[in-house]
Amino acid sequence: MKKLFASRGFAAVVLVIVALAAIPLLGGLKLSAAQRRNEKQLEAATHADKFDITNDIKTSLSYAEKLLQEGKKLAGSESSSSVDLESAVKACSEAETNADKYSKCLELIDKANAYSGSLGKLSSTTFDDLLSAINSQRDRIVNGYREAYNTYEAETGKLLNGFPASLIAKLFNIKG
Q: For the chain, 176 residues long, give each residue's pLDDT as a single digit of tens.
A: 455 445 666 666 666 676 666 555 556 667 777 778 888 888 887 777 666 788 888 999 999 999 999 999 988 888 888 999 999 999 999 998 888 889 999 999 999 999 999 988 888 899 999 999 999 999 988 888 888 889 888 888 887 776 676 776 676 666 65
Residue 138 sits at the vertex; the CA angle it makes with 136 and 140, to the nearest 5 degrees, is 70
Q: Which residues contact 117 (CB under 8 A, 6 or more apart)?
A: 81
Check residue 84 and give its pLDDT: 94
Check residue 64 and give its pLDDT: 95
**CA separation for the pair 35, 152 (Å, rounded):** 9
**CA separation for the pair 44, 56 (Å, rounded):** 15
Q: Which residues contact 57 (CB under 8 A, 6 or more apart)?
A: 92, 95, 101, 105
Check residue 4 and give its pLDDT: 46
